[in-house]
Amino acid sequence: MSESTCVRAVRPWGGALSDVLIEDGVIREVVPHTPGSAGPGHGQVIAGHGHLALPAFADVHAHLDSTRLGLPFRPHTARDGLLGLIDNDLENWRDAEESVSERATRTLGMTIASGATVVRSHAQIDVSSGLDRLEGVLAAREAHADRAEVQVVAFPQAGIVRAPGTVDLLRAAMSSGADLIGGIDPCALDRDPAQHVDIVFDIAHRHGVGIDIHLHEPGELGCFTMELICDRVRSLGMQGRVTISHAFALATAPPPRIQAVIEQLAHLDIALTTIAPSGQRVLPADQLAASGIRLGLGQDGMRDYWSPFGDGDMLGRTWQLAFTQQLRHDRLIERCLAIATVGGRAVVGTGEPAAASWTDTADTCPGLRRGDRADLLLLPGETVTSAIMDRPKRRTVLRAGRVVAVDGSLSPEALRKAVS
Q: What is the pLDDT of residue 227?
A: 98
In the predicted model, is pLDDT for residue 39 greater than 70?
Answer: no
Whole-angstrom distance, CA of residue 183 vs CA of residue 201: 10
57-359 folds as: TIM Barrel (3.20.20)
Q: What is the pLDDT of residue 417?
A: 74
Domain range list for the chain: 4-55+366-418, 57-359
Print burial letters for 97-117: b (CB count within 10 Å at least 16), e (below 16). eeebbbbbbbbbbbbbbbbbb
In the predicted model, is pLDDT for residue 353 greater than 60?
Answer: no
Report helix angle 330-338 to 314-324, nearest 10.
130
Residue 170's alpha-carbon distances to 85, 205, 364, in angstroms, are: 21, 13, 42
Percent of the chain residues topping a pLDDT of 90: 88
Q: What is the mean pLDDT of the chain?
A: 94
Report pLDDT digits (tens) over 152-183: 999 999 999 999 999 999 999 999 999 999 99
**Which of these, 250, 191, 166, 248, lies nearest to 215 by C-alpha position?**
248
Q: What is the pLDDT of residue 359?
A: 82
Quickly count: other Cβ atoms within 10 Å of residue 49's Cβ: 12
Quickly count: other Cβ atoms within 10 Å of residue 279's Cβ: 7
In the predicted model, is pLDDT for residue 350 greater than 70?
Answer: no
Q: What is the pLDDT of residue 43?
A: 83
The end-to-end CA distance of the chain, in Å, is 19
Sign of CA dihedral 29, 30, 31, 36: positive
4-55+366-418 folds as: Urease, subunit C; domain 1 (2.30.40)
Whole-angstrom distance, CA of residue 286 vs CA of residue 339: 12
What element of type H or E holds 142? helix 132-143
Q: What is the pLDDT of residue 354?
A: 56
Residue 357's alpha-carbon distances to 119, 340, 345, 366, in angstroms, are: 18, 11, 9, 7
CA 373 to chain centre: 17
Q: What is the pLDDT of residue 415?
A: 79
Number of H helices, E strands in the chain: 14, 16
Q: What is the pLDDT of residue 35?
A: 86
What element of type H or E holds 8? strand 4-12
pTM, to two decimals: 0.96
Whole-angstrom distance, CA of residue 128 vs CA of residue 113: 33
Whole-angstrom distance, CA of residue 230 vs CA of residue 328: 34
Report pLDDT digits (tens) over 236-271: 999 999 999 999 999 999 999 999 999 999 999 999
**Which of these, 414, 397, 270, 380, lies nearest to 11 by C-alpha position?**
380
**Which of these, 282, 344, 311, lies nearest to 61 by C-alpha position?**
344
> Across the strands, what pairs with 153?
122, 180
Report pLDDT digits (tens) over 272-318: 999 999 999 999 999 999 999 999 999 999 999 999 999 999 999 99
**8 A C-beta contact, residue 197 and residue 168:** no
